[in-house]
A and B are shown apart, each in its own frame.
Chain A
Amino acid sequence: MIYKFRKDIESDFEGYQELIDFYHQTEKVFFDEVVVDFSNVFWFEANLCAVLGAILVELKSKLNNIKFIRLNDKIKNIFLRNDFLSYSSSEKLVNFGQTTIKYRKFDSKDEKYFMHYVNGELLSKSDLPKMTIQLKKKISESIFEIFVNSVSHSETILGIFTCGQYFPTKERIDFTIVDRGIGIKEKIRKEIGEKMQGDEAIAWALEERNTTRKGDIPGGLGLKLIKEFIKLNEGRIQIVSNDGFCELSGNEVFQQVFNLTFPGTLVNIRFNIADTKRYKMSDEVDENEIF
């Protein structure tokens, strides 16, 4: 079959809608050639390769062959630089510059590999835009919190997908993590029996104390820490899960519902790397009063 994207793919509600439509239009295809036509796409945001990859993995598991056609040079260059083309259509790996954060697929037991990935792509890269050490640490911690959250909550069997991009002149990093798990709304319904709309479920999960955990290990903190950091950092966080969309930027919260469902959860974070705050804690914590 041939699938033609209708427009640019950017990190916004319409861009995610376009990717969700692609998933639903192709989900039943089995043992075929799926030709993805990019002739209407002038721009495809690099970090969203994580989302496209998370969709393509299911098509591949259904024995389909994937082919990209009519990619403009700009997009082809992006897909080559971040290794996405090598994963998706057997292009040779090429070692380009330092502004990409490579596309990668991880299994939920790959936490150690993920640590190496973040180390290599973020912490120890030499040509990165200048950032304070503390900011680098906070960014990495946020990324780890999301990954571990996906591992513990999503029940994904198709994997976890990541990709990012540096924008040195705009002084920002965009980073996307996608899991092909059951989604936040479904997880809440399954674990605590509450029925919510997708966007309400995401907002619920972002509140402190809310968790679907019932076992021996407490939860309900990871996403809130990221939310707090992103607000201080003046960045942005978008979450798409099942039919829900939620975007937090400064004090603004934007929630929306898709007409179709995304098969999992994606978290897209924009970090402001011009941030020079020291992130000093307001109160010193006395070691003797922690417990």
Chain B
Amino acid sequence: MKFFRGDKMQKEKLKINTFGEIGSTMCISTEDGEKIFSIIKKAFDKNITVEISFLNIEMITSAFLNAAIGQLYGKYEEKFIQQHLSVKDMADEDKFLLKRVVVRAKDYFANKKNMEKVIAEGLNENA
């Protein structure tokens, strides 16, 4: 993991080498996804832009992507993620999978928020 400073016009950017971080060509487990998530989170909390490289990665599961990227939507606004996150060196079919994970994550957290709102309203009414 390295910080690269671009020219004066560019923001500070963190480049994550997924292969280097998980030590495997296969992004399978939730646990490995959590490793990537915690790095992104550290950067996002300091308003640092992140680029994740999937160079040398041969296989990715939805479980890994849910943990690494999907759960970001529970912590950060969609707009913030759009402005601060990018991927590169990803195979077309993996990009397709990531897109589905992202759509699913937005839906999941929207439902979760609605559910929490309903429960909170129910509690207030009973108070």
Contacts and interface: CB of A to CB of B under 8 A. Distances in A.
The binding surface of chain B is classed by DSSP as: helix
12 contacts: A115-B24, A115-B26, A115-B28, A137-B58, A144-B61, A152-B30, A219-B66, A220-B108, A283-B96, A285-B96, A285-B99, A290-B95
Contacts, number: 101
Contacts of A288: 86
Given A216-B74, A218-B109, A221-B104, A287 B88 contact: yes
Interface of B: 24, 26, 28-31, 33, 58-64, 66-67, 70-71, 73-75, 78, 81-82, 85-88, 90, 92-93, 95-102, 104-105, 107-109, 112
Nearest to A208: B104
B62 to A, nearest CB: 4
A111 interface: yes
Interface centre among B28, B67, B98 (most CB of A within 10 A): B28
Contacts of B33: 217
A174 to B, nearest CB: 21
Nearest to B31: A111
Contacts of B29: 111-112, 148, 151
B63 A152 contact: yes
B78 A291 contact: yes
Contacts of A219: 66, 108
Interface residues of A, number: 35
B67 to A, nearest CB: 5
Contacts of A218: 66, 70-71, 73-74, 101, 104-105, 108-109
Contacts of B85: 291
Contact of B66 (A217, A279, A287): A217
Interface in A142-180: 144-145, 147-149, 151-152
Given A285-B98, A287-B88, 18 more contacts: A112-B24, A115-B24, A140-B59, A141-B60, A145-B63, A213-B108, A214-B112, A216-B75, A217-B33, A218-B73, A218-B104, A218-B108, A219-B108, A220-B104, A220-B108, A221-B100, A287-B86, A288-B86
A152 to B, nearest CB: 6
A64 interface: no
A127 interface: no
Contacts of A217: 30, 33, 66-67, 70-71
Interface centre among A147, A151, A279, A285 (most CB of B within 10 A): A285
